[in-house]
């Protein structure tokens, strides 16, 4: 009798230990394809490469943070801009890996491509330890990106109408120059001013360059910024129409050619974004 009670007790303890153990391992790991990243190794890399901006506690308050705009990400809240998962959800390990690999244009966040894939995977495992959300929640499965319809003139025109109808222009401006009526008033989730993207500036997008990346931004939003998710406001076809339209703002060959000769002068006029890029990349 006594013996079986002890045994029952032991097995409960064992089960609890195992559960705790597996939870800890998951929270300390990242999975990028078939590669597993380890937080213990990531910690050393973090202290060498990331701590100056993101801080020892991962709260974005590193010693360089006061001079940086936009501010380094606070990892504690678990809120990330570039995700394949719905708005409000945690990003996947791959999402974080891609962000760290790509870096963020128009910001001080560099590309970490020079590090090995294993090092980047280890870093992601460590970054995740800063937020308890990664222990408590699982990132939902990524948004499916349906195959892209043809980018013909009709699609572009429908996209133009939607850009006006969905009020993209209120932030991004009627012609996508980032100068809409609310542009000056926008704040991020930490209360810092954040300019809407200027489609005509010719700079890269933060969350990737492909049409699929743009589709994803529209359907998942850039969490922590005023850029909302349109997952419930746009059908997939409408989202593709908008992607096709904003591509024409970026690189309209008819407008681009004559501009190429007088590049310097034109660049000077659209100073805010171009100037900030140069300043920040030098700053780092
Ligand atoms: C010179 C400063 C600086 C350094 C060094 C730096 N970061 Fe960043 N990081 C930033 C800034 C600034 C942002 C926010 C950019 C933005 O919001 O546009 C950011 C954003 C991020 C994000 C958020 C991605 C998202 O989708 O929201 C991750 C993850 C990240 N950094 C990881 C790292 C890792 C890992 C390292 C070290 C290998 C590192 N950073 C080093 C400045 C830095
Ligand atoms: C309430 C203001 C607001 C509205 C409305 C809005 N945006 Fe944005 N958008 C932003 C801000 C702010 C950013 C820049 C965020 C950053 O730099 O982190 C942005 C960034 C973007 C980006 C760049 C993504 C990247 O990877 O860099 C695209 C594309 C975009 N918006 C498209 C749209 C479209 C299309 C609509 C309408 C369907 C729209 N936005 C509506 C505020 C807005």
Q: Under the phi-then-psi rule, with left for phi > 0, alpha for psi from -120 to 50, and beta for the rest, what region is 178?
A: left
Does residue 222 share a domain with residue 272?
A: yes
Range of the domain at 106: 27-136
Which ligand 2 atom is the nearest neighbour of the CA of 183? 2
Q: Are residues 88 and 211 in the same domain?
A: no
Same-domain status, 44 and 92? yes
Note the pLDDT tens digit of each residue in 186-207: 999 999 999 999 999 887 899 9
Among the atoms of ligand 1, which is closest to the Cα of residue 50? 37
Alpha carbons 212 and 3: distance in angstroms, whole number: 62
- Dist. CA 91 → ligand 1 center (Å): 14
- Do 122 and 31 lie in one domain? The reply is yes
Decide whether any atom of ligand 1 lies within 6 Å of the 28 Cβ: no
User: pTM of the predicted model, to two decimals?
Assistant: 0.85
Residues 86 and 121 in one domain: yes
Distance CA 81, CA 100 (A): 12
Question: Residue 131: CB within 6 Å of ligand 1?
Answer: no
On whether residue 2 sits in a domain, the answer given is no
How far apart are the C-alpha atoms of 72 and 54, rounded to whole Å? 6
pLDDT tens digits, the chain, 284 residues: what are they? 455 665 666 565 555 555 544 444 456 899 999 999 999 999 999 999 999 999 999 999 999 999 999 999 999 999 999 999 999 999 999 999 999 999 998 899 999 999 999 999 999 999 999 999 999 999 999 999 999 999 999 999 999 999 999 999 999 999 999 999 999 999 999 999 999 999 998 878 999 999 999 999 999 999 999 999 999 999 999 999 999 999 999 754 444 433 333 334 333 333 333 333 333 333 32
In a domain, 12, yes or no: no
Residue 228 lies in a domain: yes
Q: Is residue 51 included in any domain, yes or no?
A: yes
Confidence at residue 282, expressed as pLDDT on a 0 to 100 scale: 30
Query: Which is the closest atom of ligand 1 to the Cα of 68?
Result: 12
Residue nearest to atom 35 of ligand 1 (CA): 123
């Amino acid at each position: 009798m006594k013996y079986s009670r002890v045994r029952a007790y032991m097995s409960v303890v064992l089960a609890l230990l195992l559960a705790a153990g597996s939870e800890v391992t998951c929270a300390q790991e990242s999975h990028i394809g078939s590669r597993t990243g380890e937080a213990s190794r990531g910690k050393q890399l973090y202290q060498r490469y990331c701590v100056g901006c993101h801080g020892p506690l991962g709260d974005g308050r590193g010693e360089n943070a006061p001079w940086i705009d936009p501010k380094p990400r606070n990892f504690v809240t678990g809120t990330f801009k570039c995700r394949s998962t719905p708005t409000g959800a945690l990003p996947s390990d791959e999402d974080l890996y891609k962000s760290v690999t790509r870096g963020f244009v128009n910001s001080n966040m560099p590309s970490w491509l020079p590090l090995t894939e294993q090092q980047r995977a280890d870093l992601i495992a460590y970054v995740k330890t800063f937020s308890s959300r990664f222990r408590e929640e699982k990132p939902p499965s990524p948004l499916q990106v349906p195959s892209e319809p043809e980018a013909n003139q009709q699609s572009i025109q429908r996209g133009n109408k939607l850009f006006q109808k969905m009020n993209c222009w209120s932030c991004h401006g009627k012609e996508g120059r980032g100068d809409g009526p609310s542009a000056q008033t926008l704040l991020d989730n930490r209360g810092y001013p954040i300019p809407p993207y200027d489609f005509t500036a010719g700079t890269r997008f933060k969350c990737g360059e492909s049409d699929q990346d743009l589709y994803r931004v529209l359907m998942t939003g850039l969490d922590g910024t005023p850029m909302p998710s349109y997952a419930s406001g746009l059908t997939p076809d409408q989202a593709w129409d908008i992607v096709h339209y904003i591509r024409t703002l970026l690189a309209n060959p008819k407008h681009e050619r004559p501009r190429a000769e007088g590049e310097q002068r034109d660049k000077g006029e659209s100073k805010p974004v171009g100037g900030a890029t140069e300043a920040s990349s030098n700053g780092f």
